[in-house]
Amino acid sequence: MIQLHDLKFTPFISEAEINDAIEKVAAKINEDFEGKTPVFLGVLNGAFLFASEVIKRFKGDCEVNFVKLSSYQGTETSGEVNSLMGLTQPLEGRHVVVIEDIVDTGNTLESLNSILEAEKVKEFKIATLFYKPEAYKKSLHIDYVGMEIPNDFIVGYGLDYDGLGRNLTQVYKLKESKMTNIVLFGPPGAGKGTQAT
């Protein structure tokens, strides 16, 4: 068990399981983008480790870029996504692979979707290490999913709780899972707003 700030977390997903998930996603991306020169677009901060592992395994030429988005969630149903660091290269006509740490409600993905549609990319696919099907509220297809997980709050391997835990090499989940997102992310103004990073 570990403690981050005021909360206790228990081991949930091992390094070996994370590695298997990465290998699976990377193999599929290699297959789908063979002979193309994709732009990998990592979503900061959470996806930095997953992005590096997927990109290291890509066998052809590729480019790497990042965006930074923040989402503020007062409740599970409301979500507003702001761009903290936008695109720094034109993506018109390019093959783009979005790399996310986790897809929860899908608000972040949906806003990325509109950004990429405006860019007139040739094709874009979405890769995420973790996916919470029970929490997902959108219809956008997620092309590569490392691992489906239940609707628990997790930390580690890039994912934080209020800034801490990103360096953990395995994933932990909140010990008392009775807490809802409303408590975790906090009501507006409570200082526990979450960055979609």
User: Are the C-beta atoms of 123 and 95 separated by less than 8 Å?
Assistant: yes
Scanning 14-22, 49-57, 148-156, 157-165 for contacts with Mg ion by CB under 5 A, the matching segment is 157-165
Q: Report the alpha-carbon distance of residue 2 to residue 12 in Å, rounded.
A: 12
Positions touching ligand 5GP (CB under 6 A) are 46, 71, 79, 101-108, 153-155, 159-161, 194, 196-197
Size of interface with Mg ion, in residues (CB under 5 A): 6
Ramachandran angles phi, psi of 156, nearest 5°: 110, 165
**What are the E-state strand segments in the chain?**
2-4, 7-13, 39-44, 63-72, 80-85, 95-103, 123-131, 144-148, 154-155, 171-174
Q: Which is nearer to Mg ion, 52 or 195 (CB)?
A: 195
Q: Does 104 bind Mg ion (CB under 5 A)?
A: no
Q: How far is the CB of 56 from ligand 5GP (least distance, A)?
A: 22
Q: Which residue has the tokens 């503020």?
A: 72
Q: Does 156 bind Mg ion (CB under 5 A)?
A: no
Find which of ligand 5GP, Mg ion, none residue 107 binds, CB within 5 to 8 Å per kind. Answer: ligand 5GP
In the stretch 14-53, what mask flags binding to Mg ion with x, by CB under 5 A? -----------------------------x--x-------
Mark whether 6 is an active-site residue.
Answer: no
CA distances from 34 to 28, 31, 44, 97, 141 (A): 10, 6, 26, 13, 21
Q: Report the alpha-carbon distance of residue 161 to residue 155 in Å, rounded.
A: 6
**List 32, 104, 160, 162, catalytic entry:** 104
Interacting residues with Mg ion (CB under 5 A): 43, 46, 100-101, 160, 195
Active site residue ranges: 104
